[in-house]
Amino acid sequence: MDSPPPKSYLHPQTSLMKSRLLCLLVTILSAALMAHSQSYFSYGNRIEPEWLAEIGMSAGAMNCLTDIGGNPGQGVKPVKDINWNQTRPALAVFLAISYHSLFSLKLGLMAGSISGADSLLKNGNASSVNRYGRNLHFKTDLVELSLNAEWYPINFFFRNSDAPLFSPFLSAGIGIFKFNPRTSINGTWVALRPLHTEGEGFPEYPDRTIYKQFSWSLPFGMGILYDAGKLVRFRLEAAYRLTATDYLDDVSQSYINPAIFSRHLPPEQADLAASLADRSKELNGVIAHQPGEKRGDPSNNDAWFSCLLSISLALGRQLRK
């Protein structure tokens, strides 16, 4: 009986398939190498990757515009009513990716705090007496996760010449942040949301729902990027944020009847809520407001803003002269 033929003769297509597979792998590898070589472009005095990744951190300050505090006179937005002495520190980390040095997408995580106090209006004029007499104050920690787009318009004019080291940019994006307004009484900071100081969630005020501790933000601003070298980049940027909440300071609507607190809260908590809902008595010994009187302004949501100096490491660059 004849011995079986070699396997190469049993499957004559095998060698052909191996050859085709080898050709395919060579083709893919060649295409990948070609794509890699084409992923860099000449930009003035640099060779840049089309997509430049960055990782960085920021430090700076934040402040806010809410119903509490402000400056003497009729409260207006956005600049005149800022209490600059209420500016607080902020920190952030971010990841960014830029396309052709023209556009960037930046994912950032920021943490800081904001605060305000009616007591700042003590020496104000007659138009700010009511705000001073309200005698409210607050602070809240903020943590924001945001996605922002940056546009470098000046770089469109330097495609065939030396690229600028300083690149102004405009930015806009969307974010989500967490807040928890607190106030101080007898040296202790107390969370205000559980006290329902304006009757939020009470059946007597069906239009006042309990506000959430998370809200959307729409940051927009401007800045300047300094390209310091192959690895290091610096940014100085300022951003203003519109928000979807009017309760950063726990103030928005009108005063309620303090007797209502005892219907829905434990006795000790009800007494605390009544004391913190109207603190005018701490100034003059008497309650100065009646239920239904204006406590805040629901026509405008609260806002906050930041100014940050950032340093980042650029990844994937080949050359920088």
Q: Is residue 26 part of a domain?
A: no
Q: Is residue 200 part of a domain?
A: yes
Q: Is residue 308 part of a domain?
A: yes
pLDDT-derived band at 57 (thresholds 50, 70, 90) equals: very high
What is the rounded distance in angstroms from the CA atom of residue 43 to the CA atom of residue 317?
Answer: 12
- CA-wise closest residue to 148 among 223, 71, 210, 257: 223
Predicted pLDDT at 76: 53
Predicted pLDDT at 165: 83
CB distance 81 to 65 below 8 Å: yes
Q: What is the pTM of this model?
A: 0.81
Predicted pLDDT at 316: 74
Q: Is residue 102 part of a domain?
A: yes
Predicted pLDDT at 33: 40
CB distance 90 to 308 below 8 Å: yes
Three-class secondary structure of residue 215 per DSSP: strand
pLDDT-derived band at 239 (thresholds 50, 70, 90) equals: very high
Q: Is residue 4 part of a domain?
A: no
CATH number at 223 reads: 2.40.160.20
Tens digit of pLDDT for each residue in 246-284? Answer: 999 999 999 999 999 999 999 999 999 999 999 999 998
Q: Is residue 25 part of a domain?
A: no
**Amino acid letter, residue 203:** P
What is the rounded distance in angstroms from the CA atom of residue 99 to the CA atom of residue 169?
Answer: 14
- CA-wise closest residue to 301 among 242, 218, 217: 242
Mean pLDDT score of the chain: 85
Three-class secondary structure of residue 305 per DSSP: strand
Tens digit of pLDDT for each residue in 168-211? Answer: 999 999 999 999 999 999 999 999 999 999 999 999 999 999 99
Q: Is residue 63 part of a domain?
A: yes
Tell me the residue range of the domain where 61 lies. Answer: 40-320
The shares of helix, strand and coil residues in the chain, as percent rounded to the nearest 5, are 25, 40, 35
CA dihedral 249, 254, 259, 263 (to 10 degrees): -70
Number of domains in the chain: 1
Kindly tell me the burial class for residue 36, based on how many C-beta atoms sit within 10 Å of its own C-beta (0-12, 13-18, 19 or more).
exposed
Predicted pLDDT at 123: 76
Whether residue 236 has pLDDT greater than 50: yes
Predicted pLDDT at 43: 57
Whether residue 7 has pLDDT greater than 50: no
CB distance 174 to 146 below 8 Å: yes
Three-class secondary structure of residue 51 per DSSP: strand
Q: Is residue 6 part of a domain?
A: no
CB distance 78 to 55 below 8 Å: no
List, in order, residues 6 or more apart from 65 with CB less than 8 Å away. Answer: 77, 78, 81, 82, 302, 303, 304
Buried b (16+ CB within 10 A) or exposed e, 66-104: bbbbbbbeebeeeeebbbeebbeebebebebebebbbeb
Three-class secondary structure of residue 312 per DSSP: strand
What is the rounded distance in angstroms from the CA atom of residue 7 to the CA atom of residue 43?
Answer: 57
Predicted pLDDT at 158: 73
Chain mean position to CA 77: 19
Distances in Å between the Cα of 50 and the Cα atoms of 101, 165, 233 are: 8, 18, 17
